[in-house]
Amino acid sequence: MSYPKTPLNEGDKMIDLCGKWKVADDEGKFKFEGTVPGTVQGDLVNLKLMPHPYIGENETLFRRLEEKSWEYSKDFEVKTLDKKYCDLVIEGIDTLAEVYVNEKFAGKCEDMFIGYRFPVKDLLKIGKNTIRVKILSPIKVPKALERNYGKLNSGEESARPYIRKAQYSYGWDWGARIATSGIWKKIYIEERDDAYLEGSTAYLEDIDAVKVTGYVRLTENKNYTVKVFVDKKEVGDYPVRAGNEGYLFEGKFERGDLELWYPRGYGKSVLHDFEFKLFDGKKEISSEKKCIGLRTVKIIQEKDAEGESFIFEINGRRIFAKGADWIPSDNILSWLKNEDYDRLLEMASDANMNMLRVWGGGIYENERFYEKCDELGITVWQDFMFACAEYPDNLEWFRKLAGQEAKYNVVKLRYHPSIVLWCGNNENNWGFEEWNYNHKHNGEHLGNVLYLQDLPKICAEEDPSRPYWPSSPYGGSKANSDEAGDRHVWNVWSNWVDYKGYLVDKSRFVSEFGFQSAPDPKTVDFFAKKSEKEIFSDVMVRHNKQVEGPERIMKFIHNHFGNVKNFDSIIYLSQINQAEAIKTGVDHWRERKYKTAGTLYWQLNDSWPVFSWSSIDYFKRPKALYYYTKRFYAELLPLIKNDGDELRIVVVNDSETIEGHLEFDLWTFNGKKLMEKSYDVRIPSDSVLNVDNFRFSDNLAEAIGFVRLKAGNKVFENHEVFANLRKIKLEDPYITFEKSGDTLTIKTEKPAFGVRITTEKDEVLEDNLFAISPDRPKQIKAPKSDFKTSSMYDFLK
Ligand code: BMA
């Protein structure tokens, strides 16, 4: 196995094999110049040999490509062969491949999540050399294994558990089916003379003691030592010794005044420059540099009246996790650039998220993802890549491969402070109990030996710096119970329950819940022609992968707004419904802090242009939910709660103690003020404060309430729609705008709801899709391009 970013020692050489390769399929249909890193599918589209899979129904054309094997080949020059070691390093191949150097077998790759290293010194010669990589069909091989070993429970493609390839590539209920093939990561030859460091890391054993460790490769056990420097200061000198698997160094030093790393909203996310230097006597031969943050993390699991808590604690501080689930941001991974990761993660951070869950049906993410999370203070719940299926760990080769994959990724990623949890899989243990996942081996469900034995053992050995959790959901009397552990709340939406259903939920930690919506109208324009813009057109249904997804969208629109037919209104209302749904859940669960200690909504992003549960669509256009997220995940959250005939004003505070002024007013949609109140408040740090509760006898059937909290120079807002919009005829609220310098002031005569500012150019605004009280004009940073405004009234006319 080989790890990326392994730096070369002085004098060592690298022959880069990335760039142009000859690519051909085994049926003689395609022959082209492909790009590495890349995928065949990405190349075929870029070269216009295949139509764009994300437009219309083109996705279906890509199914045929799965049947093919592909051959990648390239000539390269070798000038010298004077180094002791000469390795072909492949950071990632998608997926099953045989590699030949000068027509001699160099090695085979079986797992897209593992980097491979093959010794090739004996296969190379000075002068011209060739490399040939044969990539086998990602469907024929798993299908053959399935015929041999039996069909397992899984989603759309039953053979997918037999191949260690991103599981979503066989289609998901939000994802296109494009089972890619290619050399998807870097490939090069390394010529080395001496040992080098790999997987070096530092972490807190307790709040004051820093532990350092790492592997030393290619050593012959000379008297090597490793010196560790932090922010350029030497902190220790540690001997290298033989471990169970190869050589390593290990040691400790006092943290002293090195600052800690905190998640966003709880302190600074300080990263230190660590340098690990390998010495042979006095001679430095190798070094590894990493930015590492120091923090402790544990999960507080304590018995209480509702069962058992599930609270992340970082550096001894409880954290309420606010975030979303993360899926791969493209179906064709080779199309993703560092800028895409940066942008999406900055958007998550701007929306006040402090946790993302890297979901088990995707990939162990790109290095850039974790680097950026470290920097932004976004914690990561990291699944291992097993999702919604039975996995054949009864087969020795499979179990071994899964273990290698886990070890490879744990060692590679363990230095990232942002990762706060390793989690065995997505929903498989839930499946054992509730979805007839009944195949067993030696009395154990298929996959469970991995989740309960192998993976926790690997994590304990390679990375004791964060907890391991067997599955998501897990804990309690049943995997998806509400009394302990984490829970996926899918009665709402998937089981057709409307979103008020969240209000009775008592999950201890909600790691998934979601509500679908349409993508941005411009994104719909990308994939559908005018004539296809109908919710049940073939193209539209193809771009909603859930069985009866469009039916649910229409049912819930009908529940809240009546019989809507206009397509633009459906897009808009689906987004409002989604945003109100997730707000309902988050408002409820944040008020329960820490009985519920986190909400991760399904899902932050999309892998192609689609109707889905995301808050940011494939082209990174924010949906209504994105703007709602900024407000409902802010450090202070004012709430208006209605318990029967009583109204309550509450503030949830995730930050320090604050003093502020809170205003509340209640209106009918058509402009009659029913009530107003204001309060000077002092809200203790990390608390939920009941500001007021009072009986309210007026009919709320036409009402909307507004609450605004001013603290220092910050403003925190919320609204609560009590009215049944299906039953009332909205009148024009008369919204007016005034732009002065950089500021846009928005006023309204009657309560305005779902106020949308549509900009000519794609812009993520400071706020959007909000509600405004006639008493309180709203100010935001003015858009840069021309804009139009609308509100709920315009879509229900
Ligand atoms: C859960 C997830 C995903 C799925 C989502 C929406 O089951 O883990 O598998 O896409 O819900 O149905």
Verify whether ligand 1 is closer than 6 Å to residue 454 (CB atom): no
Cα(235)–Cα(258) distance, integer angstroms? 11
505 lines ligand 1 (CB under 6 A): no
Ligand 1 in contact with 174 (CB < 6 A)?
yes
Find the 619 Cα to ligand 1 centroid distance in Å.
Answer: 21
pLDDT digits (tens, 9 = 90+) for 740-777: 999 999 999 999 999 999 999 999 999 999 999 999 99
Compute the average pLDDT of residues 703-731.
96
- Specify the pLDDT at position 3: 56
Q: What is the pLDDT of residue 156?
A: 82
pLDDT for res 797: 85
pLDDT at 409: 98
Q: What's the mean pLDDT in 242-263?
A: 95
Amino acid at 392: P
Report residue 475 as tokens. 């804990």
Q: Is the CB of 356 under 6 A from ligand 1?
A: no
* CB-CB contact of 247 with 299 (8 Å): no
How far apart are the C-alpha atoms of 213 and 203, rounded to whole Å?
9
Residue 719 phi, psi dihedral angles, 5° rounding: -140, 165
Instruction: State residue 10's pLDDT score.
Output: 87
CA of 394 to the centre of ligand 1 (A): 26
Distance 27 CA to ligand 1 centre (A): 36
Quote the CA–CA distance of 35 and 48 in Å, as a whole number. 14
172 close to ligand 1 (CB < 6 Angstrom): yes
Using CA atoms, how far apart are residues 764 and 768, in angstroms rounded to an integer? Answer: 9
- Tokens standing for 592? 């329960």
Neighbours of 438 (CB within 10 A): 11
Distances (CA, A) of 710 to 134, 234, 583, 696: 63, 47, 20, 25
Could you tell me if the CB of 721 is within 6 A of ligand 1?
Answer: no
Looking at the predicted structure, is the pLDDT value of residue 2 above 60?
no
Integer Cα distance of 148 and 305 in angstroms: 50
Which of 487, 512, 578 gets mutated to test ligand 1 (max ligand atoms within 8 A of its CB)?
512
Ligand 1: does its nearest atom lie under 6 Å from the Cβ of 371?
A: no
Tell whether domain 635-728 is in CATH 2.60.40.10: yes
Confirm or reject: Cβ of 667 under 6 Å from ligand 1: no
Distance CA 374, CA 293 (A): 7
Q: Is the pLDDT of residue 242 over 90?
A: yes
Backbone angles phi, psi at 651, to 5 degrees: -130, 130
512 Cβ below 6 A of ligand 1: yes
Whole-number Å distance, alpha carbon 173 to ligand 1 midpoint, is 7
In three-state secondary structure terms, 394 is: coil
Pocket test for ligand 1, best of 602, 605, 611 (most atoms within 8 A of CB): 602
CATH 2.60.120.260 location in the chain: 13-190
Contacts of 762 (CB under 8 A, 6+ apart): 522, 619, 621
Q: Which amino acid is at 36?
A: V
| pLDDT, tens digit (0-9, with 9 covering 90-100), for 277-331 | 999 999 999 999 999 999 999 999 999 999 999 999 999 999 999 999 999 999 9
Closest CA to 138 of 178, 105, 173: 178
How far, in Å, CA of 471 to CA of 425, rounded?
A: 5
Q: How close is the Cα of 344 to the center of ligand 1, in Å?
A: 20
Task: Confirm or reject: Cβ of 602 under 6 Å from ligand 1.
Answer: yes
**Integer Cα distance of 257 and 65 in angstroms:** 57
Ligand 1 atom 1: the closest Cα is on which residue? 512
Q: Is the CB–ligand 1 distance for residue 62 below 6 Å?
A: no
φ, ψ for residue 149, nearest 5 deg: -105, -10
pLDDT category at 644 given cuts 50, 70, 90 is confident
Give residue 141's pLDDT: 97
Pick the CATH number of 729-797 from 2.60.40.10, 2.60.420.10, 3.40.630.10, 3.30.420.40: 2.60.40.10
Q: Which atom of ligand 1 is nearest to the CA of 613?
A: 6
How far, in Å, CA of 216 to CA of 224, rounded?
Answer: 9
Rounded to 10°, the helix 567-591/549-561 angle is 80
Per-residue pLDDT of 366-393, as tens digits, reads 999 999 999 999 999 999 999 999 999 9
- Whether the CB-CB separation of 654 and 265 falls below 8 Å is answered with yes
Where exactly does CATH 2.60.40.10 map onto the chain? Answer: 195-292, 635-728, 729-797
88 or 5: which leads in pLDDT = 88
| pLDDT range class, residue 643, cuts 50, 70, 90 | confident
Q: What average pLDDT does range 629-654 have in this prediction?
A: 95
* pLDDT tens-digit map of 101-110: 999 999 999 9
**Average pLDDT of 226-239?**
97
Q: What is the pLDDT of residue 245?
A: 81
- Domain 195-292 classified CATH 2.60.40.10? yes
Q: Residue 5 — pLDDT band, cuts 50, 70, 90?
A: low
426 close to ligand 1 (CB < 6 Angstrom): yes
Q: Is 388 in the pocket of ligand 1 (CB under 6 A)?
A: yes
Query: Does residue 601's CB lie within 6 angstroms of at least one atom of ligand 1?
Result: no
Whether the per-residue pLDDT at 664 is higher than 70: the answer is yes
Nearest CA to ligand 1 atom 6: 173
Mean pLDDT computed over 510-526: 98
Query: Among the CATH numbers 2.60.120.260, 3.40.930.10, 2.40.37.10, 3.30.70.260, which is that of 13-190?
Result: 2.60.120.260
Atom of ligand 1 nearest to the CA of 359: 8
Residues in the chain: 797
Give whole-number Cα distances, 453 to 282, 359, 456, 462, 524, in Å: 43, 21, 6, 14, 46
Residue 31: the pLDDT is 98
Coil/strand/helix, residue 398: helix
